[in-house]
Amino acid sequence: MQKNSNIAYTRKCCVCNKQLFGRSDKVFCDIHCKNKYHQDVRKHTHSVASNNIKILNRNYVILIQLLGVKGKKITINKLALQELKFDFSTVSGFEKTKLGIKMKVYEISWYYTTHDNIVIFQNNDQRLLSPYVYKRWEMQWQQKQTQTPIELNNYS
Ligand SMILES: [Zn+2]
Measure 134 CA to ligand 1 centroid, in angstroms: 51
Measure 47 CA to ligand 1 centroid, in angstroms: 24
pLDDT digits (tens, 9 = 90+) for 46-85: 888 888 999 999 999 999 888 875 568 999 999 999 999 9
- The H or E element that residue 74 is part of is strand 73-77
Measure 29 CA to ligand 1 centroid, in angstroms: 4
Measure 41 CA to ligand 1 centroid, in angstroms: 16
The span from the CA of 111 to the CA of 121, in Å, is 9
Give yes or no for a contact between 153 and 138, defined as CB atoms under 8 angstroms apart. Answer: no
Print the SS3 string covering 93-121.
EEEEECCEEEEEECCEEEEECHHHEEEEE
pLDDT digits (tens, 9 = 90+) for 128-151: 666 777 677 777 777 776 665 444
Residue-averaged pLDDT of the chain:
83
Measure 32 CA to ligand 1 centroid, in angstroms: 7
Separation of CA 144 from chain center: 24
In percent, the amount of the chain with pLDDT more than 90 equals 49
Measure 13 CA to ligand 1 centroid, in angstroms: 5
Give yes or no for a contact between 108 and 122, defined as CB atoms under 8 angstroms apart. Answer: yes
Q: How far is the CA of 54 from the CAs of 25, 97, 103, 105, in angstroms?
A: 39, 28, 17, 12
Measure 36 CA to ligand 1 centroid, in angstroms: 9
The predicted pLDDT at position 127 comes to: 56
